[in-house]
Amino acid sequence: MNQSFEPFYDVNRTYDDNYAQGPFGAFAQALADPARVGNQSAASSCESFLGFPVNLPFGIPAGPLLNERFTTAAFRMGFDLSVYKTVRSRAWGCNAFPNVLAVHPRSVDGLLTPGSPELDEGVLADTRYETPISISNSFGVPSRDPDIWQPDMRRAIAAAGHGQLLVPSFQGSRVEGMSTDDYIADHVTTARLVCETGAGLMAMNTSCPNEGHNRLLCHDPHLVGRITEAVKNEIADRPLIIKLAYIPPVATEPWPQDSRAGHYTYARVTDDSALELMVRQTVARGTVQAIAAINTISARLVDANGNQALPGAGRERSGVCGHAIRYAGLDMVARLAAIRERLGLDFAIIGVGGVVEPSDYDDYRTAGADAVMSATGAMWDARLARRIKSR
């Protein structure tokens, strides 16, 4: 890694050290000396996002912004949508350090195609951080106790400037002996705790492993439908966002010669009923107002000798994010936009995945995203929002 450059989340420190001492680099400067970064919330024009005025519908999704100091620094750096890292109904520990590794896909363009054999054969992961940046993150969605995160989230909401919006993220916690009804109730409890902080909207994460890798809540659209209905009853007219992992099309056929240009899908989608079922179980029932996609893409991570890269049981596979998943994110957004049009529904799409350059923001908007977010790209370029705005 370039020694003079410091991501605001320091991958060489533990999660707890980042929580207690972060943010770092340009974000730390923005907190210490706001005058130096200027007033990033001042805007000449505003867009509307889920009924809230937003200067530029661009920001940082759930994950790297661990607490109020991180979200406030993000606002000061011009990220007008800042998502507070996913919280739970109870304190939850973090996976063992290290939690981040650099990832190096084999292809010349550095992209990982969903369904590629490389994802199961093994993708090289080490500590050589290079741009365009691709990483793996393996945290296990840690959370502070509500007694700690509630007052902190309240402060985070209050720190948003004009045309800026703090989006709380939460998820349910599956613990041993829990019935499905208990699991649904845990989501509702957590949503209520988020409401108590004064939040005007929230994002529910359905895309992190709840029971081990490859078993994601969003693979069960009927359960997501039941949970979002219960959550919506609790939060009333506050907009509810759901965060999805990549859901592949059910059937595709190759693009006819030369007709792929301008499309963000790998192949012509002939059956998208799995993703459509998710939309029908949520948005179409009036319980969900926005879909954020995607989370990470699961891959087997290996070191240079072909051995498991992350230490410990259950960590043979881990989620890849950053540049490598850019095309998968665009593909999901384009398909969600097509479903929105086909079903005549009105919902917002938040495009996430591999946004590392200002032009990636444009590509997501063109593919149908109403808002765009960058986690890995923003970690490695704290000025990304300002670069988009300054064009």
Contact pattern for ligand FMN over residues 90 through 129, marking x by CB under 6 A = ----------------------------------------
* φ, ψ at 109 (rounded to 5°): -85, 0
Residues 185-224 that bind ligand FMN (CB under 6 A): 205, 207-208
Amino acid identity, position 45 = S
Identify which range of 32-40, 55-63, 276-284, 303-311 contacts ligand FMN by CB under 6 A.
55-63
Strands (E), 62-155: 81-87, 100-104, 123-126, 134-137
Residues 233-262 that bind ligand FMN (CB under 6 A): 243
Q: What angle do CA 386, 369, 330 make, to 5 degrees?
A: 95
CA 295/CA 322 separation, integer angstroms: 10
Identify which range of 107-115, 159-167, 304-312, 319-327 contacts ligand FMN by CB under 6 A.
319-327
22 binds ligand FMN (CB under 6 A): no
> Which conformational region is residue 323 in: left (phi greater than 0), alpha (psi within -120 to 50 degrees), or beta?
alpha
CA 383/CA 163 separation, integer angstroms: 18
CA 349/CA 373 separation, integer angstroms: 11
265 binds ligand FMN (CB under 6 A): no
Question: Is residue 253 within a helix (H) or strand (E), and if so which, with residue range?
Answer: strand 251-253
* φ, ψ at 372 (rounded to 5°): -135, 145
Contact pattern for ligand FMN over residues 154 through 173, marking x by CB under 6 A = ---------------x----
Name the minimum Å distance from CB 213 to ligand FMN: 15
Please say which residue, 219 or 268, places its beta carbon nearer to ligand FMN: 219
Identify which range of 31-39, 45-53, 117-125, 369-377 contacts ligand FMN by CB under 6 A.
369-377
137 binds ligand FMN (CB under 6 A): yes
Please say which residue, 302 or 375, places its beta carbon nearer to ligand FMN: 375
Please say which residue, 212 or 256, places its beta carbon nearer to ligand FMN: 212
Total residues at interface with ligand FMN (CB under 6 A):
28
Task: Residue 328: name the closest of 128, 179, 115 by CA.
Answer: 115
* φ, ψ at 348 (rounded to 5°): -90, 145
Structure tokens belonging to residue 10:
């320091």
* φ, ψ at 321 (rounded to 5°): -140, 175
Identify which range of 33-41, 159-167, 210-218, 373-381 contacts ligand FMN by CB under 6 A.
373-381
Q: Out of 296, 351, 380, 381, which residue is the one contacting ligand FMN (CB under 6 A)?
A: 296
Identify which range of 34-42, 56-64, 119-127, 332-340 contacts ligand FMN by CB under 6 A.
56-64
CA 94/CA 142 separation, integer angstroms: 5
With CB atoms as reference, the residue minimizing the distance to ligand FMN is 63
139 binds ligand FMN (CB under 6 A): yes
375 binds ligand FMN (CB under 6 A): yes
Contact 337, 355 (CB under 8 A): no
Name the minimum Å distance from CB 348 to ligand FMN: 16
351 binds ligand FMN (CB under 6 A): no
CA 252/CA 249 separation, integer angstroms: 7
Name the minimum Å distance from CB 163 to ligand FMN: 22
146-158 and 180-195 are packed helices; what angle lies between their axes, rounded to 10 degrees?
Answer: 40
Structure tokens belonging to residue 190:
């957590």
85 binds ligand FMN (CB under 6 A): yes
Amino acid identity, position 272 = D
Q: Given the rule CB under 6 A, which residues bind ligand FMN?
A: 9, 61-64, 85-86, 137, 139, 141, 169, 205, 207-208, 243, 295-296, 321-322, 325, 352-355, 374-377
